[in-house]
Structure 1
Amino acid sequence: METYGKILLIAMPAFLLLVLFEKFWGMWKGKDTVPVNDMISSLSSGITNVTKDVLGLSIVVISYEWLYSNFALFQIQATWLVYVIAFFALDFAGYWTHRIAHEYNIFWNNHIIHHSSEEFNLACALRQSISSIVKIFAVFLIPAAIFGVPPQVIAIVAPLHLFAQFWYHTRHIGKMGFLEKIIVTPSHHRVHHAINPEYLDKNYGQIFIFWDKWFGTYQEEQDDIPAIYGVTRPVQTWNPIKINFMHLWLLIKDAWRAKKWSDKLKIWFMPLGWRPADVAEKYPVYKIQDVYHFDKYNPFLPKGMLIWSFGQLLVLLLLISYLFGNIASIGAPDIFYYGGFVFLTIYAYTELMDRNPNAWAWELLKAAYAFYFIFTRGDWFGLNADFPGALPVLIAYLGISAIIAIWFSFRKNEVQFAN
Structure 2
Amino acid sequence: MKLVEYAIPFFILAILVELAYGILRGRNTYRVNDAVSSLSLGVLSQAQRFVTLGLGGYVYYLVTAYFSLPLMDAGHWWTWLLAMLLYDLCYYWSHRLGHERSIFWAAHVAHHQSEDYNLSTALRQTSTGFLLGWLFYIPMYLLGIPAEVVVTVGAINLIYQFWVHTRHIPKLGWLEWLLVTPSNHRVHHAQNDIYMDRNYGGMLIVWDRLFGTFQEELEAEPPVYGIRGPLRSFNPARALTHIYLDMLHDSRRTALWRDKLRVWVARTGWRPADVARSDPRPKPALAEFRRYDPQVGPWVNAYALAQLVAVILLLGALLLLAPAYLAGLAGWAVLLATTVTTALWLDRRPVREVLGWELARLLAVAVLLGLLAADGAGAPVIAAGLAYLAVTFGLLLPVARSAAEVVQAPDHGGAEGGNGAVAE
Establish whether residue 334 from structure 1 lines up as the match of residue 334 from structure 2: no
User: Could you say which residue in structure 2 is the equivalent of 1:416?
Assistant: 408
User: Which runs of no fewer than 5 residues in structure 1 stay unpaired?
Assistant: none
SS of alignment partner, residue 110 of structure 1: helix
Establish whether residue 98 from structure 1 lines up as the match of residue 92 from structure 2: no
* Residues 176/283 of structure 1: CA separation in 2 closer, same or farther (3 Å cut): same
* Residues 218/138 of structure 1: CA separation in 2 closer, same or farther (3 Å cut): same
Q: Which has the higher contact order (CA 8 A, sep 6+)?
A: 2
Give, in whole Å, the separation in 1 of the partners of 2:30 and 2:13: 13
Q: Which amino acid aligns with 2:290?
A: D
User: Could you say which residue in structure 2 is the equivalent of 1:45?
Assistant: 41
User: Could you say which residue in structure 2 is the equivalent of 1:393?
Assistant: 387
User: Could you say which residue in structure 1 is the equivalent of 2:160?
Assistant: 164
| TM-superposed deviation, 1:312 | 1.0
Q: State whether residues 384 and 390 of structure 1, in contact with CA within 8 Å, keep that contact through their aligned partners in structure 2.
A: no
User: Which runs of no fewer than 5 residues in structure 2 stay unpaired?
Assistant: 412-424
User: Could you say which residue in structure 2 is the equivalent of 1:257?
Assistant: 253
User: Could you say which residue in structure 1 is the equivalent of 2:337?
Assistant: 344
Establish whether residue 371 from structure 1 lines up as the match of residue 363 from structure 2: no
Establish whether residue 84 from structure 1 lines up as the match of residue 117 from structure 2: no
Establish whether residue 299 from structure 1 lines up as the match of residue 294 from structure 2: yes
* Residues 384/403 of structure 1: CA separation in 2 closer, same or farther (3 Å cut): farther
Where in structure 2 are the equivalents of 1:46-125 lying within 5 Å?
Answer: 46-53=42-49, 55-57=51-53, 59-60=55-56, 63-78=59-74, 79-125=76-122
Give, in whole Å, the separation in 1 of the partners of 2:408 and 2:397: 21
Q: State whether residues 58 and 135 of structure 1, in contact with CA within 8 Å, keep that contact through their aligned partners in structure 2.
A: no
Where in structure 2 are the equivalents of 1:279-294 lying within 5 Å?
Answer: 279-289=275-285, 291-294=286-289
Measured on the aligned residues, the alpha-carbon RMSD in Å equals 2.4
* Residues 103/389 of structure 1: CA separation in 2 closer, same or farther (3 Å cut): closer
Establish whether residue 356 from structure 1 lines up as the match of residue 349 from structure 2: yes
SS of alignment partner, residue 63 of structure 1: helix
Where in structure 2 are the equivalents of 1:131-280 lying within 5 Å?
Answer: 131-142=128-139, 144-280=140-276
* Residues 210/373 of structure 1: CA separation in 2 closer, same or farther (3 Å cut): closer
Q: State whether residues 58 and 134 of structure 1, in contact with CA within 8 Å, keep that contact through their aligned partners in structure 2.
A: no
* Residues 51/57 of structure 1: CA separation in 2 closer, same or farther (3 Å cut): farther
| TM-superposed deviation, 1:157 | 2.0
In the alignment of these two chains, the number of paired residues is 408
Give, in whole Å, the separation in 1 of the partners of 2:314 and 2:133: 31
Please, what TM-score do these two structures have when normalized by structure 1?
0.90
| TM-superposed deviation, 1:415 | 3.0
| TM-superposed deviation, 1:237 | 0.7
| TM-superposed deviation, 1:84 | 1.6
Establish whether residue 314 from structure 1 lines up as the match of residue 309 from structure 2: yes
Q: State whether residues 29 and 116 of structure 2, in contact with CA within 8 Å, keep that contact through their aligned partners in structure 1.
A: yes
Give, in whole Å, the separation in 2 of the partners of 1:388 and 1:336: 17
* Residues 48/57 of structure 1: CA separation in 2 closer, same or farther (3 Å cut): farther
Q: State whether residues 327 and 372 of structure 2, in contact with CA within 8 Å, keep that contact through their aligned partners in structure 1.
A: no
Give, in whole Å, the separation in 2 of the partners of 1:417 and 1:140: 48
Please, what TM-score do these two structures have when normalized by structure 2?
0.89
Deviation string 1:115-169 (CA, Å, 9 cap, x unpaired) is 0011111111111111224134344441x33432111211222212211111101
Q: State whether residues 64 and 138 of structure 1, in contact with CA within 8 Å, keep that contact through their aligned partners in structure 2.
A: no
| TM-superposed deviation, 1:293 | 3.2
* Residues 320/62 of structure 1: CA separation in 2 closer, same or farther (3 Å cut): closer
